[in-house]
Structure 1
Amino acid sequence: MPDTRVVQGRMVTPQHLAELIEDGDVMEAEAIEDTDRECPNCGGDVLEVGYMPSITEYVVGRKCQECDWSETDRD
């Protein structure tokens, strides 16, 4: 069973978390990791997930558990 976390009141899998960050489908996602960062918008906890939005790209994305804020290593 994939690890799940609560993000904005909903349980999400690594795949779903990556799709929230990417605002679209992703091919594959790794396990969700905790970070030592606080959200710059609301101060909530930030999660991190590595994923492949396409066959040739690997992205690390971060998403707040409490609000809409997210970023990727492309930003």
Structure 2
Amino acid sequence: MSNRVVQGRMVTPERLAELIEGERPMEADGIEDADRACPECGGDVLAVSYMPTVTELITGYKCQDCDWSDADR
């Protein structure tokens, strides 16, 4: 699935990566369920792989219900 609801808004993979990273990525793959609960609110967490630069590929995680996010760096 390419678009998902995060905090009441429909987001694309690029927008989800932007919410995690703080700026728009060069490229982002599809959004997937992360199969983990948010450590802050217990909500569902989504995962997205994205490229903030030409040489980096990062997997970012974002809660669907609150502001919590994290990234594998």
Give TM-score, length-normalised by structure 1: 0.94
Question: Which runs of 4 or more aligned residues in structure 1 lie more than 4 Å from their structure 2 counterparts after TM superposition?
Answer: none
Structure 1 equivalent of residue 8 of structure 2: 9
Give TM-score, length-normalised by structure 2: 0.96
Instruction: Summarize the alignment of residues 1-75 of structure 1 with structure 2, pairs less than 5 Å apart.
Output: 3-74=2-73
**Inter-partner Cα distance in structure 1 for 2:36 and 2:65:** 13
The RMSD of aligned alpha carbons is 1.0
Q: Which blocks of at least 5 consecutive residues in structure 1 are unaligned?
A: none
The superposition leaves residues 18-71 of structure 1 with CA deviations (integer Å, 9 ceiling, x where unpaired) of 000001110000000102100000000000000000111110000000000000
For 1:51, give the aligned amino acid: Y
Number of equivalenced pairs: 73
